């Protein structure tokens, strides 16, 4: 009886993927995953930077509202004192309760206010100071070094009342 080895070899090769095909598929998945992860990191850092700008904007608007109501800014020696549950800004519902004293990058916000003015600062992204540098807010002005578009971006901007004695 003659042996027919050709059909058994054909069955063996058509039963699955070769090692080379599996390696190529895994390489494609790895490349796509790497590209996706780098884009995710880039966009999440940009989102944290915009969140920091929004936090400073909320506090600055609360200070501006306080100024419009009382004729002067409240005296605060630190940003923590501004967002504390017992601060006049929170008690008068000018800022939301439970705001953090740290930026989304884990660094503390800086800030102080006197009866005449205030200054709020965020150090920006410590890993990307070129694109997401410090943000500084003073009455009537926002300064940051980021080319990121949006409401927190840009150079001096007039969206708040001027401090006493200053001209707009």
Each residue's pLDDT tens digit, 85-117: 899 999 999 999 999 999 999 999 999 999 999
pLDDT of the residue at 158: 45
pTM: 0.68
Tens digit of pLDDT for each residue in 132-161? Answer: 889 999 998 887 755 544 444 444 444 444
Burial of 111 (0-12, 13-18, 19+ CB in 10 A): buried
Mean pLDDT computed over every residue of the chain: 82
Token pair of 17 as six digits = 């993927």
What does the block give as tokens for 77? 């020696």
Q: Which is more confident, 92 or 131?
A: 92
């Amino acid at each position: 009886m003659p042996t027919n080895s050709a059909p058994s070899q054909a069955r063996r090769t058509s039963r699955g993927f070769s090692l080379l095909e599996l390696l190529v598929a895994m390489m494609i998945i790895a490349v796509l995953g790497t590209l996706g992860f780098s884009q995710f990191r880039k966009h999440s850092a940009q989102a944290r930077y915009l969140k920091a700008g929004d936090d400073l904007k909320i506090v600055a608007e609360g200070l501006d509202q306080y100024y419009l109501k009382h004729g002067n800014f409240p005296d605060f020696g630190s940003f923590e004192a501004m967002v504390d549950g017992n601060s006049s800004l929170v008690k008068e519902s000018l800022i939301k309760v439970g705001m953090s004293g740290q930026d989304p990058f884990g660094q503390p916000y800086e800030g102080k206010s006197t009866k005449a003015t205030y200054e709020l600062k965020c150090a920006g992204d410590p890993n990307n100071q070129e694109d997401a540098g410090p943000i500084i807010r003073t009455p009537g002005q926002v300064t940051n070094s980021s080319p990121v578009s949006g409401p927190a971006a840009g150079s001096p901007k007039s969206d708040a009342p001027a401090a006493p004695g200053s001209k707009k």
